[in-house]
Each structure stands twice: as structure tokens, then as C-alpha cells.
Structure 1
Amino acid sequence: MRNWQKTLRPASFSGVSFFVDYDELTAGKRLAFHEVAGGRQTVVEELGLSTSVYDVTLYLLGDASDAQALALQAVMLAPGPGFLMLPMDGAMMATAQGFRRTRAKDRFGYVAFDATFIPAVNDGGAVLSLGDVTATVAAGIAAAASQFARFF
């Protein structure tokens, strides 16, 4: 039997780690339906892939969760795609489309985000080079550092 805890990857975006509570992939094909008057069959024309979307409910936990939340916000708002690592789907370049951050009283040290990521490549089997990973992590660290600098 598979030991899921040992096989799942640690989640992160542009070098900022987080935990995943829930993730959902929406993907598919763009289709055109051609219906002929009086006909009994519909001709389906494939127009390519629709844009894939990852909706992720993620959270930060611990004494530094407030600082981690600022760093995560900074990298999600940085221009261009970042390096997204999801526990089951693995690594990909993706652009953070938007996010919603939530905090609640009596849950100090817990910061949750609902985030939407759009993969840079819309087909399966995309592989990142070491150069892609290095450049993305460096960009994420620089963005987070500039965001932190505003507070000191």
C-alpha cells in the first residue's frame, strides 16, 4: 500500500512554502457544435484546449505565518509566471491570477488563501529545465525581499 505522506511533494510558489488543503484542476477542450437544420447529427469541431485553471486552497501555519503570508502575496503579485509546486501534480510554471486571504479570530498563526493559478503551458508533459527553476526561485526571493524591505 502506498505511503501518501512520504510520496507527496512539499508545496510552494516561487520559493514560498505552504500547505495545501484542497486543489482543483479545471481543464478541457474548446468545442464548436455544428447543427444542420433538419439533421439528426451534430458535427463536433475541436478548437484546441481551453485554458487550464488550478484553484488551490492553501494555508500557512506557525509563528512566522504572518511574514510568510506577506511573502506569498508579494510573489503572487509579481509580474510573470512563477514556479508552482503542488503535492500531487508536481512542478510547473504558472501565473497567479488572483487570491483571497482569510484570517479568523481564535486561529492565530493560521492564514488561509484561496488562489487561482494558470499554467504557463497548457498541455501535459511539460518539463522544466534547471535554468527555469533557478531563475524563478531567484525572482521570487527578490520580490519577497523587496516586499519585506517596505516594512523595515
Structure 2
Amino acid sequence: MADSPWRARLRPASFRGAEFHVEVGTRAGGRRVALHEFAKRDDPYAEDMGRRAIRNAVTAYLVGPDYLDDRDILIESLDAEGPGLLIHPTLGEFDVVCDGFNAIERRERGGYVEIECTFIEVGSIGSYQAQADTAGAVGMKADDLSTASGAFADSYVNTDSLDLGAGRDTDWV
């Protein structure tokens, strides 16, 4: 019997270099949608807010006489801070963070551990990085200058000694 094409394309699964076998793998995505429903209106509005983060759920397993050492290495890589490279047997390579995991060992399956893992794509921070608000800073400096110049003028011109009402006709008031 000839090998099937998908089997030839299988790759060993790993996260941060810690290898494992995959029992079950899922991938979830889609769109983020804000649904707007209004009173007295039968027509809702679904606002597309962009793509959801891709989530990969993997049920990994380790088996054999060295499974305890392999388990500890995998758990250490899942616990490590920051993103890491996930190599999925059929889907490819992804920069992800581990959102959580659950290691399951059963008495009747000695020499075997199952680890349920959830990975979330890292993406890039890109335009979301904090940037200086130069327009706001210029506006604040202009306000400061206006206040300072007003205070400066007030300190040199004493309007209390001026008769601002002299020569005006105020009978009409």
C-alpha cells in the first residue's frame, strides 16, 4: 500500500524544542464581531472588529521509559516566559505563547502522560506601541506660554491706577 501524501508531510511536533506526539490538535479563529441591536429596530448591525487571534489546542502525549524526563522538559518549556516556536505536525510553524496546560497521568497507563495545551498566536505589536503625543505636548506648551505671557503683562501693567471709565458716557446704562 502506498503512503498517503499527508503522512509524508508530517513533521515531529515540538514547542521551544521540546518534542512530543500529538493525539488531538485543533485550530480556532474567525472574526471579532460587535453586535449592535437597537430598541424598536428589527435590523441588527454586526460590526467587524478584525480577525480573532488564532488559538491552537493540542493534546500532546509522551510515552516510554524516559517519559518523566521528557514531561518535565515539556512542562518547563510551556511555563517559560514569552513566545516560543510551536511546530505542529500538519499545520506548520507558529510563534505562540502557551495560555495554559493540563498534564494528565493515569494509573492504568503507566509510562504515559497526556498534556492538554492551549497556544495563542503572538502576532506583532506594530502600530500599537505607545508613541509620543507631539500635538498634545505642543498644545500644552502653548497654553503654558499664554499663561506665562499673561502673568508677565499683569506684573508690569497695573490697571488699578488707570481710570478706565473716564470720558465715557454711562448715562445710557
The residue correspondences of 1:20-39 to structure 2 (distance < 5 A) are 20-39=22-41
Shift of 1:108: 2.0
Question: Within the alignment, does 1:91 sit opposite 2:93 as a pair?
Answer: yes
The residue correspondences of 1:22-101 to structure 2 (distance < 5 A) are 22-101=24-103
Q: Which structure carries more strand by proportion?
A: 1
Describe the SS at the equivalent of 1:68: helix
Shift of 1:12: 0.4
- Distance in 2, matches of 1:52 and 1:3, equals 26
Question: Percent sequence identity over matched residues?
Answer: 33
The residue correspondences of 1:118-133 to structure 2 (distance < 5 A) are 118-121=120-123
- Distance in 2, matches of 1:6 and 1:16, equals 22
Residue identity opposite 2:101 in structure 1 = F
- Distance in 2, matches of 1:59 and 1:22, equals 10
Residue identity opposite 2:46 in structure 1 = V
Deviates more, 1:32-41 or 1:102-111: 32-41
Q: Deviation digits for residues 116-148 of structure 1, max 9, x if unmatched?
A: 1111128xxxxxxxxxxxxxxxxxxxxxxxxxx
Residue equivalent to 1:19 = 21
Shift of 1:78: 0.6
Residue equivalent to 1:127 = none
Q: Which of structures 1 and 2 has the bigger CA Rg? A: 2
Residue equivalent to 1:112 = 114
Aligned alpha-carbon RMSD (Å) = 1.8
Describe the SS at the equivalent of 1:5: helix
Shift of 1:30: 1.3
Describe the SS at the equivalent of 2:46: strand
| Greater length-normalized contact order (CA 8 Å, ≥ 6 residues apart) | 1
Residue identity opposite 1:101 in structure 2 = A
* TM-score (norm: length of structure 1): 0.73
* TM-score (norm: length of structure 2): 0.65
